[in-house]
Copies of this chain bind each other. A is one copy, B any other.
Amino acid sequence: MSVLQEININVKNMRETEMTALERQANLIKEMLRQGVKKPYKYVINVSWGDPHSTGVKPLTFVRQVLAACFYPQLMDGNKLPVDVKQRARELLHWCEGGCVGSYTHTPGLTEVIHSIAHFITQRDGGVPADPENIWIHSGSQWSLTNMLRVLVNSDGSPRSGVLMPVPCYSTSHVSVEALGGVVVPYFLDEEHGWELQIEELHRALESAEGVCKPVALYIINPGNPTGHIQSRKSMEEVLRFVWEKKLFLLADEVYQGCVYGEKTPFVSYKKVLSNMGPPLSDMLELASFHSASKGFLGECGLRGGYVELVNIEPDVLKHIYMLFHMDACPPVAGQIALELMVDPPKPGEPSYTLYTNEIRHIQSTLLHNVKKVEKVLNRLPGFSCQPVEGGAFAFPRLHLPPKAIQKAKEVGMKPDTFYCVRLLEDEGVFVSPGCEYGQKEGTYHIRFCIMTTVDTMKELLRRLSSFHLQFMKDFS
């Protein structure tokens, strides 16, 4: 009887993730705690998302002051806000139609913000120019990834389009491809070598697609989520040559470019490496690079603001991309403001500079401390091994589960690492996500958790995790 029983088959095939049940359980526990039910812990530590503000990391004062002034310009009458905050807010309001953040902007975003982003990219890439016409602000990287996939993936299914995607990988990226009727062609990252991307594996993956689908794009996330690996320049050159030879489109998810820990492996953008390789690649290889205000030191996930830079895309195709982006009118203005402040922060000599710099340094040192602590604690625990976290927002340690635990998980109808996460959540109120959510080599198990927390939260997290883990290993030894 129901009309919606005949639901679009691609949507019907979307996998429900392992997380849904865990999230439900976490909410239940939180509700019980609110109602005064006694547990061995007073609150749940949720590190299942990359969401620094939710775990107590403070937003940047300058960003929030400018946002507040833009929303309620009367605040600028008093002397509560620094002069440069007022100046930036006035400038931003001047860019908005009617001088008001409540107005729609152009579909690709405020022209002036796009120019600031182009300037930021050019500086980042040591002078490789960025054309504002190729930059599109959006409400989040998953949104724009999905829209780029809508252009790339042939939805009428003859032949089905394939997208090479890493394993492990944030599951929504896989789901995006499948929901459009595309095929995910998995390539495995090499855990034993710090989650490196091996070029032979890309070749293997591409061959595996023969007779199944027509590969049209390669998706890469660097710095890695969940792996924390940062690609070397050599590896990126190999990837670019592969993309070129195989006539693929490169989807370069670079949202964690601001999150780098240590100086051994700096972040270099795919666009910069491409540019250095010279023609014909630098003039013709098509790529999209994604960035976001949710990640990095801003951590403004709730504002919904990111951008994509399109490289070597023909104007005719850009027209179609415009139409797709145009369907949602415009990106959230608060997110656009956050982006502007991210790419053009206070400069030396300006009133907000010192505080801004101190806050950034504090976050940087906190994250560096967390990363070191995580690696040290986990690698000392029996049954845990953690690759170096060079960048990104997550640790993705491997769990060497005892056979009895695997057996028990089977009995209760769960995947082994989900079973581990469920128990950790129940026993210690720590919400991490299981490796099976991201994909992993058969017979290996992992957990993922966000390292963007305060020092105190990380200390408490590691205390609870260690205590749980030792007991768990004992119980199933």
Contact = CB atoms under 8 A, between A and B. Distances in A.
A68 B67 CA distance: 7
Contacts of A71: 64, 67-68, 71, 334
A186 interface: no
Given A68-B68, A72-B67, A155 B155 contact: yes
Interface string A276-311: 000000001010000000000001111110000000
A381 to B, nearest CB: 27
A282 to B, nearest CB: 14
Given A7-B151, A176-B327, A179-B324, A300 B102 contact: yes
A323 B6 contact: no
A413 interface: no
Nearest to A147: B11
A269 interface: no
How many of chain A's residues touch chain B, expressed as a range?
35 or more
A418 to B, nearest CB: 18
Nearest to A72: B68
A367 interface: no
A319 B151 CA distance: 26
A115 to B, nearest CB: 14
Interface string A73-104: 00100101000000000000000111011111
Interface in A26-60: 46, 49, 51-56, 59
Interface in A1-25: 1-12, 14, 16, 20
Nearest to A77: B80
Contact of A286 (B4, B64, B333): B4
A1 B103 CA distance: 41
A212 interface: no
Contacts of A46: 97
A263 interface: no
A65 interface: yes
A55 B103 CA distance: 9
Contacts of A150: 8, 11, 179
A172 B324 CA distance: 10
Interface of A: 1-12, 14, 16, 20, 46, 49, 51-56, 59, 61, 64-65, 67-69, 71-72, 75, 78, 80, 96-98, 100-105, 139-140, 142-143, 146, 150-157, 172, 175-176, 179-181, 216-217, 247-249, 284, 286, 299-304, 313-314, 317, 319-320, 322-324, 326-335
9 contacts: A2-B314, A8-B154, A20-B322, A101-B302, A102-B300, A104-B302, A105-B302, A140-B328, A155-B180
